[in-house]
Chains A and B, each alone.
Chain A
Amino acid sequence: MTASDTASTTRLGRPAGPAIDAGARATFTNTIRLRLRVPAKLRNLELVLLIFGIVIVVFAIGLVQLGALGTLFPHMLELGGALGVLVIALHIVLRFAAPQADPFIVPVAFVLNGIGIAEIYRIDIAKKFTGWEGAGARQIAWTGMAIVLAMAVILIIRNHRVLQRYRYVAMFVGIVLLLLPMLPGIGQTVNGARLWIHIGGFQFQPGELAKIALAVFFAGYLVTARDSLSMVGRKILGIRFPRARDLGPILVIWAAAMSVLIFQHDLGTALLYFGLFLVMIYVATGRISWVILGLGLFVGGAVAAGQSLSYVHARFAAWLDAFNPQIYGAPGGSYQLVQGLFGLAHGGLVGTGLGQGRPTIVPLAESDYIIASLGEELGLVGLFAILALYLVFVSRGFRIGFAGQDDFGRLLGVGLAFTIALQTFIVIGGVTRVIPLTGLTTPFLAAGGSSLVANWIIAALLLRLSDSVRNQSNLVVQT
């Protein structure tokens, strides 16, 4: 790639008049540019990893059938293969629309999604569901839809800076999506949490999409407001704290998170939105005082809620005293949590093998507790591989924040990647009893269309952002 890009890498002190020189220089570099057409190295790497990923997914589905049924049924394998074809189509779209995009995002997302499908299908077999009544087939359909949507996002948003212009629209959309389940007619309460809307036999969790809209708004807002939030303020104990009048935004977000907690009965979503804002404001201003303030506010609010709201109180009790027989037996107690832990323990180091465990003992084994099911059947070794894949995915997003060229894109990349990281932490931390259990979906793995669609859109946005991290050098100095 030496001396390829810009039309001005020439030796100094060339004996020529400026006018003639410029013309000659332009044609000269044009010929160089033609000769040095950069091969699509990143996309080729992505293709290799994708084919590898498709092999893993089909292998996992096959293994589920062998383990649970003893023979192979080609029907499900064909569906898995069809998803492979679709994801290759996404890869081809990337070759044309975003050739410099990150090569790891799509394979990692696809493998996580595919492992999730295999496990959901396995739970369907155990529950004797077939066809469309099984969550596995629906999950495959949702995956197909989500990948098509990801392609659409990549094709429609050709430059992510456009999103910055719509930051207040994004705010409005985010708030509306958050409030939608509260509407009487379409809102629906499932398992005590009012997070769903229901339109004509079609269920959706709009909060999942709201996190994308809010990330866009936070990034756009913080880029403009960063200076007033970071430069001024009084120093207390060596840490610069913001002025009282700059506390507006954080209080608004805190109030929104608390209202989700109180009215929608969802601790996880509240934590997710507030954590997202906190991290983005920290990244934008570089001041630890925001984190201290924010964590103080949230912990204070959560403790107060724990005292007054019965469901939060029950969650805390189930977390702290899970093995107490009274709490174990109580409705909404720790039965699910403890069964999940038993499942993980049964899996041990290498697991019982796909299709050979008994993950269905845990309620909601295919959605909230998919991690416990996978932990039982793939063991600690398999679970750590899954966590490593999440780590790679998130680190690719953070890398955009590090190597990106414009502030909006950098903040958005960090914010989107952090939602995935925080959501994974909240879910897996809840299942493994690190933090109180809250009902969020494991990104890409868990059964549920809204979460899949939202996460594939996040993947598409990260691809778009990483494409703009400029990859061609103007000049290479090498010794």
Chain B
Amino acid sequence: MSQLTLLLLRFGLLLILWVFVFAIVYSLRSDLFGQRVRKQPTPPANASPFIASAVAPTAPAAVTPAPVAAVASASAASGSLLFPAPGEPLTQPVSATPSSIAATRLVITSGPKEGLELSLPNEPLTIGRSSESGLVIRDDYTSTHHARLMRWDESWVVQDLDSTNGTFLDGTRVTLPTPVPLNTPVRIGTTSFELRR
């Protein structure tokens, strides 16, 4: 065994160790950089004028076609509702509606798959662009792990998982886990859904 071959084998070992590391990192790239966005062939005319990385949280509210938009932009413009100090009680938008414990299904009320419904599972339902989410929404405005719907004692609760563009309950950006009343629109990206009995 010549010294040269040994030298080459030595560097070969270091090389394949690093190839192994990078093979792993490559296979978990969707975890590191988020799910790839598919280019929309024809973006809806009223949903185009900003890019996904727009920092201003008011932007998504301004462009949704749904009737929610008016309320959303109004509340967003006021600014105070966006990041209430921790501990400050969050006003519940629609308190008159019945508690959503009776909700059995989730109906998509606007967006590309308008009209689809799914039955609510017994465990928490995750929403996001990641293919591991319970409800996968792939558009430019959704984060990889965007939000979560959970059942807490009396009702279903939506929790925003620090998403870039926010989760809007009846036009108000959700910062703390907030109960979702029945028949109230929750908007994520360009998709809105409601919980129904």
* Structural contact, A6 and B121, CB atoms closer than 8 A: yes
Task: Report the nearest A residue to B150, measured CB to CB.
Answer: A405
Q: A8-B118, A56-B17, A474-B125 are in contact. Are A1 and B38 (CB under 8 A)?
A: no
> Taking the complex as formed, is A11 at the interface, i.e. its CB lies under 8 A from any CB of chain B?
yes
> Taking the complex as formed, is A36 at the interface, i.e. its CB lies under 8 A from any CB of chain B?
no
* Range, interface on chain A: 35 or more
How many angstroms between the C-alpha atoms of A378 and B12 in the bound complex?
11
> Taking the complex as formed, is B18 at the interface, i.e. its CB lies under 8 A from any CB of chain A?
yes
Task: Report the nearest B residue to A3, measured CB to CB.
Answer: B116
* Structural contact, A474 and B124, CB atoms closer than 8 A: no
Residues of A within 8 A of B108 (CB): 477
How many angstroms between the C-alpha atoms of A52 and B24 in the bound complex?
11
How many angstroms between the C-alpha atoms of A473 and B138 in the bound complex?
12
Q: A6-B119, A59-B13, A63-B13 are in contact. Are A473 and B133 (CB under 8 A)?
A: yes
Residues of B within 8 A of A378 (CB): 13-14, 17
> Taking the complex as formed, is A104 at the interface, i.e. its CB lies under 8 A from any CB of chain B?
yes
Q: A6-B118, A56-B20, A477-B108 are in contact. Are A405 and B135 (CB under 8 A)?
A: no
> Taking the complex as formed, is A310 at the interface, i.e. its CB lies under 8 A from any CB of chain B?
no
Shortest Cβ gap from B33 to chain A (Å): 14
How many angstroms between the C-alpha atoms of A408 and B138 in the bound complex?
29
Residues of B within 8 A of A225 (CB): none
> Taking the complex as formed, is B54 at the interface, i.e. its CB lies under 8 A from any CB of chain A?
no
The 0/1 profile, CB within 8 Å of B marked 1, for residues 345-382 of chain A is 00000110110100000000000000000000011011
Beta-carbon contacts under 8 Å, A459-479 to B? 469-471, 473-479
> Taking the complex as formed, is A67 at the interface, i.e. its CB lies under 8 A from any CB of chain B?
yes
Task: Report the nearest A residue to B25, measured CB to CB.
Answer: A392
> Taking the complex as formed, is A53 at the interface, i.e. its CB lies under 8 A from any CB of chain B?
yes
* Structural contact, B118 and A385, CB atoms closer than 8 A: no
> Taking the complex as formed, is A227 at the interface, i.e. its CB lies under 8 A from any CB of chain B?
no
Residues of A within 8 A of B20 (CB): 49, 52-53, 56, 107, 111, 385, 389
* Structural contact, B191 and A469, CB atoms closer than 8 A: no
* Structural contact, B16 and A59, CB atoms closer than 8 A: yes
* Structural contact, B6 and A381, CB atoms closer than 8 A: no
> Taking the complex as formed, is B11 at the interface, i.e. its CB lies under 8 A from any CB of chain A?
yes
Shortest Cβ gap from B172 to chain A (Å): 22
Beta-carbon contacts under 8 Å, B1-47 to A? 1, 6-7, 9-14, 16-18, 20-21, 23-25, 27-28, 31, 38, 40
Task: Report the nearest A residue to B5, measured CB to CB.
Answer: A66
Shortest Cβ gap from A347 to chain B (Å): 12
Contact partner of A477 (CB less than 8 A), chosen from B24, B112, B130, is B112
* Structural contact, B117 and A8, CB atoms closer than 8 A: yes
Contact partner of B134 (CB less than 8 A), chosen from A8, A63, A353, A474, is A474
Q: What's the A-B contact tally at a CB cutoff of 8 Å?
A: 151
* Structural contact, A107 and B24, CB atoms closer than 8 A: yes
Shortest Cβ gap from B54 to chain A (Å): 18
Contact partner of B38 (CB less than 8 A), chosen from A70, A353, A474, A479, is A479
Beta-carbon contacts under 8 Å, B72-117 to A? 105, 107-108, 111-113, 115-117
How many angstroms between the C-alpha atoms of A49 and B23 in the bound complex?
8
How many angstroms between the C-alpha atoms of A405 and B149 in the bound complex?
11
Beta-carbon contacts under 8 Å, A387-432 to B? 388-389, 392, 399, 402-403, 405-406
* Structural contact, B17 and A67, CB atoms closer than 8 A: no
* Structural contact, A9 and B118, CB atoms closer than 8 A: yes
Contact partner of A389 (CB less than 8 A), chosen from B21, B113, B135, B136, is B21
* Structural contact, B6 and A353, CB atoms closer than 8 A: yes
Beta-carbon contacts under 8 Å, A62-108 to B? 63, 66-67, 70-71, 103-104, 107-108
Q: A60-B13, A66-B6, A71-B1 are in contact. Are A12 and B134 (CB under 8 A)?
A: no
* Structural contact, A8 and B17, CB atoms closer than 8 A: no
> Taking the complex as formed, is A24 at the interface, i.e. its CB lies under 8 A from any CB of chain B?
no
> Taking the complex as formed, is A39 at the interface, i.e. its CB lies under 8 A from any CB of chain B?
no
> Taking the complex as formed, is B173 at the interface, i.e. its CB lies under 8 A from any CB of chain A?
no
Shortest Cβ gap from B57 to chain A (Å): 21
Q: A8-B119, A71-B1, A477-B111 are in contact. Are A108 and B135 (CB under 8 A)?
A: no
Shortest Cβ gap from B44 to chain A (Å): 9
* Structural contact, A49 and B134, CB atoms closer than 8 A: no
Q: Which residues of B does A touch, CB under 8 Å?
A: 1, 6-7, 9-14, 16-18, 20-21, 23-25, 27-28, 31, 38, 40, 105, 107-108, 111-113, 115-119, 121, 123-126, 130-139, 145, 190-191
Q: Can you list 8 A-B pairs with a CB-CB distance of less than 8 A? A: A45-B27, A59-B13, A59-B16, A66-B9, A382-B13, A385-B14, A402-B145, A478-B112
Per CB-CB distance, the 9 closest pairs between chain A and chain B, nearest first, are A353-B10, A385-B17, A8-B119, A476-B136, A477-B137, A12-B115, A477-B113, A479-B112, A478-B138
Apart from A49-B20, A405-B123, A471-B132: 12 A-B pairs, beta carbons within 8 A: A6-B119, A10-B117, A67-B10, A353-B7, A382-B17, A405-B124, A405-B126, A474-B125, A475-B113, A475-B135, A477-B137, A479-B138
